[in-house]
Structure 1
Amino acid sequence: MATIAQLSTETLPHDVVSAVKALLPELRAAQSESDRLARPPTHIVERLREAGAYRLTIPKEYGGLQADMKTWMDTITEIGRGDAGVAWAVTLVASCNWAFSSFFPKHLVDEVFSEPNAALAGIFTGRVVNIRPVKGGIFIDKGTWFFNSGVYEATWDLLGVPMFDEAGEPAGPGIALVPMSDVKLLNDWNTSGIRGSGSTNVGVENLFIPNDRIVPLAPIAEGTQPRAYAGSLPRVAFMPLMASILTYPILGASLHMIETFMETLPRRDIKLTPYTKAAEAPVTHLQIGEATAKIEAARLLIEDGVREMDRWSQGADYMPMPLRARICRDTAFAERLMWEGVDLLASASGGSFSWLSNISNRLWQDVKVGTMHPLVSAPSNYELYGRMLAGIEPPLMLI
């Protein structure tokens, strides 16, 4: 009988999915190197680039795949089965490529994607920024942005900055396009999980950014920002997309956890019980049943949101707010279910799980760290959806 992990990773019709799936042995073999470097190894980046992973969401007219959300999900999930940290970097680059080609002026999109291997990373909120309005744009005296995932593979960065009106008064948050040559990588990504994402903090000093390289964030979230490119993908709702894409690496790691658990189960004993083999113990069967149910339920929730995003991307209307909030709620719940499933399998893995060399330990750390992103915070997303059902309108920036 096939396991859920096997059923979820059958050959898929899209070439990019098949191409990254073929890289699974290389991704797993390079895990220790990605952990040591705290970023994707160069040879892995090249192999993923050859497979088309970094062109997922670039419009076709620039040589990209302009993939739909289901292809995006399947591609990153397969990479996540090999290395969730590397998958995290790729999905964040894909999201920034999508956001840039969707919302920035076309002349900038033409400029950036004239480079064959152009890619964008980004972090839309600054942590410590000293920015002031000047004639024709803004000037960054000094700024720091935390957790800039995928930045080592990027040629440009999208950084969250304040915007100002003509009188120099604050006018809401914006996103600025900055060449990587003007961004300092602080090389401080030192975490217990998702290490291969290379999510280092970055800094910028003494830099002028013209106004035409800055777009407002609020209209993007609201669905009112003019679109630079007329393809179908750019019409996906911003916040549900940004939340959903964070689940794909974690789903891949969760499927890998099931696979590893089932492969090692025949060799595992179970101490201080009448059973000599863990595979014979009813408690193990119960744990497997519950853990796989949680992970499979999470996958179905994620896929349902992906289907909705793909469906709405084909029409002229922007996805309604209640549906956007529901997808974000389901995304957060799916993250919680995956963590609970992986944690349950970890608890059933015996004392050897504690070894840092145990791949299950690594997967457990990856899933836990991956579920800590604020966009997939369960309490915040539950509250947001609950407020809407109770008739209390939420701040538009959140959805």
Structure 2
Amino acid sequence: MTTNSVPSREELIRRAAEVVPLLKDTAEKSEESRNLADESVQALADIEFFKMRIPQRYGGFESDLTTTSAVLTELARGDGSTSWTAAVWTISTWIAGLFPDEVQDEIFSTPDVRVCGILSPTATAVPVDGGIVVNGKWVFNSGAKHSHWNTNAVILLHPEHGPMPVMTAIPLSDLQIVDDWHTAGLRGSGSVSTVATDVFVPEARVLHMGPVLQQKYSSEANRNSPIYTAPLLPTACSTVSAVAYGLAQAAKDAFFERLPGRKISYTDYAEQAHAPITHLQVAEAQTRIDEAGFHALRAAGLVDRKANAGEEWTLEERARVRLDMGATCVRAKEAVDVLNTASGGSSIYNHVPIQRIERDIQAINLHGVMHPNTNFELYGRILCGLEPNTHYL
């Protein structure tokens, strides 16, 4: 185990910005193969991205959520699928830091370890001597083909205590990968399914979700690290919000890269940039981008502030992070929609980024946890004095 100097937030953002051109160049390749290009994964390793949410005692940076979100936002300006998969890796790597220390010793012994995972408990397990045996399937497993470990939720069918949700840490080598990722959006994320068939998981690699959702984690060594005192759902929701915010910025970049010299067909506007409709469109898009950024940054800032202060979370604060995630998604999509509409018929070609950005932001807005309407309803319930209708807070 080693410690190393931790780069500043500004340095990590600068590194992310440097790989944006490469991610743009490989985005179409990732789409065609329905999996991240090896060059994209190597670029993340080269900028030491995989160290950001690893404990410092293993040579990691223990980056806070504001820093992590800023880096993910920058990566999304290059490719939404890369940023999305990177976000999943940071969430799952952080979850690995909640397991007992001996489990972390095993996971983090691999250089540039990549951990993916699923929060939805779609598999089941039964207790056996020394652990549990897992069977079942998890879909939407982003980055699985490039990952070493899977942190997946499971329903433990306990004969005495009844069904209970647990989180497991399973090597990808113990699972079957089903290449079923044929989608309209985030095609490059390789969000395939993984299947467990009578997979034995030692007891140390099983976390009971009841204590986890109450911020009672199993690691002793990470107990005094602020990032490992944060709650699971606000951490995860804030992380993926950064991808939506970055895609909105990517749409703006893509639009203005193509704007010089473009005309508006079947009009006398020889320059699209001279048309009042264009001025209204880009102003509206920028407003939506700014609003998306407000919500994404507010959520990350709240998680960091409360973690550093050691403050308890209120129910309203937890629901507000869900609200911020939903607002980030819908405002980012509105911005992309405006710019996509303004991009003209030639933008439907595969080599033009705006059409891919449009499909990616649509996919994010359809995500079960990220869906704006679901999150707005949840926050509204809390404001109206009702109990939440979900455990995902």
Indicate whether the TM-score tops 0.5.
yes
Alignment-derived partner of residue 40 in structure 1 = 36
Match status 1:135 vs 2:114? no
RMSD of aligned residue pairs (Cα, Å):
1.8
* Partner Cα distance (2:40, 2:269) in 1: 43
Amino acid at match of 2:175: V
Alignment-derived partner of residue 211 in structure 2 = 219
Q: Do the aligned partners of 1:89 and 1:197 also contact (CA within 8 Å) in 2?
A: yes
Match status 1:150 vs 2:143? yes
Q: Do the aligned partners of 2:245 and 2:328 also contact (CA within 8 Å) in 1?
A: no
Q: Do the aligned partners of 1:126 and 1:160 also contact (CA within 8 Å) in 2?
A: yes
Alignment-derived partner of residue 208 in structure 1 = 200
Match status 1:300 vs 2:294? yes
SS of the residue corresponding to residue 391 of structure 2 reads: helix
Alignment-derived partner of residue 197 in structure 1 = 189
Structure 2, unaligned stretches of length 5 or more? 1-7
Q: Do the aligned partners of 1:343 and 1:364 also contact (CA within 8 Å) in 2?
A: yes
Q: Do the aligned partners of 2:215 and 2:230 also contact (CA within 8 Å) in 1?
A: no
Deviation of residue 393 (structure 1)? 1.7
Deviation of residue 322 (structure 1)? 0.8
**C-alpha deviations, 1:73-130, integer Å up to 9, x for none?**
11111111111101111111111111110x2111111121122232211112244x35
**C-alpha deviations, 1:155-201, integer Å up to 9, x for none?**
11111111244x44424211111111101111221222212221111
Q: Do the aligned partners of 1:27 and 1:83 also contact (CA within 8 Å) in 2?
A: yes
Deviation of residue 272 (structure 1)? 4.0
Amino acid at match of 1:144: K
Deviation of residue 396 (structure 1)? 6.1
Write the mapping of 1:1-399 to structure 2, written as runs, cut at 5 A.
13-101=9-97, 103-127=98-122, 129-140=123-134, 142-165=135-158, 167-228=159-220, 229-230=222-223, 231-395=225-389, 397-399=391-393
SS of the residue corresponding to residue 203 of structure 1 reads: strand
SS of the residue corresponding to residue 125 of structure 1 reads: strand
Q: Do the aligned partners of 2:131 and 2:203 also contact (CA within 8 Å) in 1?
A: yes
Amino acid at match of 2:94: W
Alignment-derived partner of residue 3 in structure 1 = none
* Partner Cα distance (2:212, 2:121) in 1: 18
* Partner Cα distance (1:104, 1:186) in 2: 27
Amino acid at match of 1:304: R
* Partner Cα distance (1:89, 1:37) in 2: 15
* Partner Cα distance (1:395, 1:217) in 2: 17
Q: Do the aligned partners of 2:116 and 2:144 also contact (CA within 8 Å) in 1?
A: yes
**C-alpha deviations, 1:221-268, integer Å up to 9, x for none?**
232445541211112222112112112222222212111212222322
Mean Cα deviation higher: 384-393 or 37-46: 37-46
Instruction: Calculate percent identity across the aligned residue pairs.
Output: 28
Structure 1 pair 398–336 and aligned structure 2 pair: CA distance change class (3 A): same
Deviation of residue 276 (structure 1)? 3.4
| TM-score of the aligned structures, taking structure 1 as reference length | 0.91
* Partner Cα distance (1:356, 1:111) in 2: 42
* Partner Cα distance (1:21, 1:266) in 2: 23
Q: Do the aligned partners of 1:342 and 1:364 also contact (CA within 8 Å) in 2?
A: yes
